[in-house]
Structure 1
Amino acid sequence: MHDLSTPMKARQAPTASLAAAPHRSLFFAGTVAVLLAMTWWTLELASQRFGWVRWPQPTIPPVWGHAMLIQYGLFPPFMFGFLMTTFPRWMSGPAVPPLRYLPVAGGVLGGYVLAHIGLLGEPWLLKAGLLLMMAAYLLGVLTLAGVLYRAAARNQHGWSCFAAFCVGTLGLALFIAWLMLPGESPALGWLAVKLGTYGFLLPMYFTVCHRMLPFFSHNAAAGRGYVMRRPKWSLLVVWGLLVTHLLLEWGGQLRWLWLCDVPLALVFGGHALAWQPWKCMRPGLLAVLHLAFAWLPVAFMLFSAQDIVLAATGRYVLGRAPLHALAIGFFGSMLVAMVTRVTQGHSGRLLQMGAIPWLCFVLLQAVALLRIRAELGGDTYLWLVIAGTGWLLAFLPWVLRSAWIYLTPRVDGKPG
Structure 2
Amino acid sequence: MKASFWNTFTAAPHRLFFFSGAIQLILPMLAWSVELTGRYTSLWSPVEAVIPTTWAHGFIMIYAIFIFFIFGFLMTVFPRWMNTQAIKKDHYTATFIWLNVGLYTFEFSLFYSLNYAFIGVIVFLFGWFHGIVVLYQSFKSSNAPNKRYETVVLSALLCGWLGLASYAWWIYSDNWRFLELSLNIGLWLYLLPLLFTVSHRMLPFFSSNIIENYKIYQPARTLWIFLAASAAHFVLAYLHQQSWLFIADIPLAAVALLHSIRWQLRRSFKDRLLAVLHMAFFWIFIGMTLFSIQSLILLFSGEYIINKAPLHAITIGFFTSLLVAMASRVTMGHSGRMLHLNTLSWALFLGLQLAAIMRIFADLQFDNEQLSHSLNLVAVALWLISLSTWFIKYAPMYLSRRVDDQNG
The TM tier, using the shorter chain, reads over 0.9
2:64 aligned with 1:76: no
Q: Judging changes above 3 Å, is the alpha-carbon distance between structure 1 residues 52 and 188 closer, same or farther for their aligned structure 2 residues?
A: farther
Structure 1: 5+ residue runs without aligned partners? 1-7
Shift of 1:308: 0.8
2:160 aligned with 1:172: no
The residue aligned with 2:265 is 277
2:381 aligned with 1:393: no
SS in 1 for 2:269: coil
* Residue deviations 1:338-360 (CA, integer Å, cap 9, x gap): 00000010000000112332122
Number of aligned residues: 403
Q: Which amino acid counterpart does residue 309 of structure 1 have in structure 2?
A: I
On the 8 A contact 1:57/1:121 being kept in 2, the answer is: no
On the 8 A contact 1:141/1:166 being kept in 2, the answer is: yes
Report matched runs for 1:104-123 at 5 Å: 104-123=95-114
Q: Which amino acid counterpart does residue 332 of structure 2 have in structure 1?
A: Q
The equivalent position to 1:91 in structure 2, one of 82, 88, 91, is 82
Shift of 1:237: 1.2
The residue aligned with 1:39 is 30
* Residue deviations 1:173-226 (CA, integer Å, cap 9, x gap): 111012123xx52101111011111111111110000000000001111xx221
The residue aligned with 1:201 is 191
2:211 aligned with 1:211: no
Aligned-pair Cα RMSD in Å: 1.5
Q: Which moved more, 1:297-306 or 1:382-391?
A: 382-391
SS in 2 for 1:57: coil
The equivalent position to 1:329 in structure 2, one of 290, 309, 317, is 317
Q: Give me the whole-angstrom Cα distance separating, in 2, the residues matched to 1:25 and 1:303.
A: 36
On the 8 A contact 1:167/1:200 being kept in 2, the answer is: yes
Q: Judging changes above 3 Å, is the alpha-carbon distance between structure 1 residues 175 and 52 closer, same or farther for their aligned structure 2 residues?
A: farther
Q: Give me the whole-angstrom Cα distance separating, in 2, the residues matched to 1:190 and 1:14.
A: 42
Q: TM-score, normalised by structure 2?
A: 0.95
The residue aligned with 1:411 is 403
Q: Which amino acid counterpart does residue 87 of structure 2 have in structure 1?
A: V
Q: Which amino acid counterpart does residue 312 of structure 2 have in structure 1?
A: H
Q: Give % identity.
A: 34
* Residue deviations 1:31-69 (CA, integer Å, cap 9, x gap): 111102211211111111124665542232322111111
Report matched runs for 1:30-69 at 5 Å: 30-51=21-42, 55-69=46-60
Structure 2: 5+ residue runs without aligned partners? none
On the 8 A contact 1:226/1:279 being kept in 2, the answer is: no
Q: Which amino acid counterpart does residue 100 of structure 2 have in structure 1?
A: L
Q: Which moved more, 1:13-22 or 1:64-73?
A: 13-22
The residue aligned with 1:347 is 335
Q: Which amino acid counterpart does residue 282 of structure 1 have in structure 2?
A: K
Q: Give me the whole-angstrom Cα distance separating, in 2, the residues matched to 1:414 and 1:149.
A: 29
Q: Which moved more, 1:108-117 or 1:185-194?
A: 108-117
Shift of 1:236: 1.4
On the 8 A contact 2:38/2:47 being kept in 1, the answer is: no
